[in-house]
Structure 1
Amino acid sequence: MRVTLQLTPHRPDLRAAFTAGHGRDLTGQEQVACRAWAAIDCPAALRWAMDHHRDEEVIGYARTVLDLLRAPNPVV
């Protein structure tokens, strides 16, 4: 989930490396699962960031994922 939503949305080279290493593209069910896990992970990540001195890296991750979850045609 983090690879597909956090690291590769704006890096087609990393997405290609991920799918090459995985041996295939994600199935539709796997894409849906990634989005569901991301929706669960974001609040937990934000809570952790707030408990750890407003960790900007984690807050940035959560913002990126939330933006992607709001997109009508997400990368994942």
Structure 2
Amino acid sequence: ALDGPAPWGNDDIGRRFADQHADAAEQTVQRLTDLSAKLADMGSAFAKAARTYRATDGASADAADRIRHGLGEG
């Protein structure tokens, strides 16, 4: 949207509007783009954490079973 023609026009009022707001609009678009990438990275990190949790939980359950069987309780 910001790459096309100036939506506020090229007249005096439009140029003054652009002087006040165009940079902030461009910064906002860049921050939203960065946020999208960061959220995608977070999704990957949460998936990795879930895999690690499941693996650790399974290993702990297996260890508890071995202890229980070793004590003659299973």
* Shorter-chain TM-score tier: 0.3 to 0.5
Q: Which has more helix, going by share of residues?
A: 2
In the superposition, the TM-score normalised over structure 1's length comes to: 0.32
In the superposition, the TM-score normalised over structure 2's length comes to: 0.33
Between 1 and 2, higher relative CO (CA 8 Å, sep ≥ 6) is seen in: 1
Structure having the higher Rg: 2
